[in-house]
Amino acid sequence: MTTSYVLEKQQELKKNKDLMREAERQAIARMEEEQALRKAASDARIQAKLDRIARGESAPAAVSVSIAAPEAAAVETKAKPKVASKKKQPKVEEDAVEEREESEDDQLEHSQAEE
């Protein structure tokens, strides 16, 4: 024997299923109507072209009609800036600094002597 809440749940599911089927029928009807309209428009273009050919007229200038697709919501995402790591300069000992200064002084004296 089933309880009342199980029977209520089954009835609710049955109602939902009926609603879904009705929505599907409506969607199919809309699609068929759109297809019929497209076919009618295509048939009208073809008939106009055949009439024009029968009269011996030249083709009109090409006119392209395009229907723009609806624009999706523009979502702007900001890219996180990349953090550039600082390059570490090698630690220079005081002796190396003094040697560089001495070599620069020697080069200056040498270049001045040549002049």
The helix (run of H) or strand (run of E) holding residue 24 is helix 4-55
| Other beta carbons within 10 Å of 52 | 13
For residue range 99-114, what is the model confidence (pLDDT) as tens digits?
A: 666 777 677 676 666 6
Given pLDDT bands bounded at 50, 70 and 90, which one contains residue 94?
Answer: low
For 80, the token pair is 């996180």
Looking at residue 13, its pLDDT comes to 97
Q: How far apart are CA 49 and CA 58, in angstroms?
A: 10
Contact 104, 110 (CB under 8 A): no
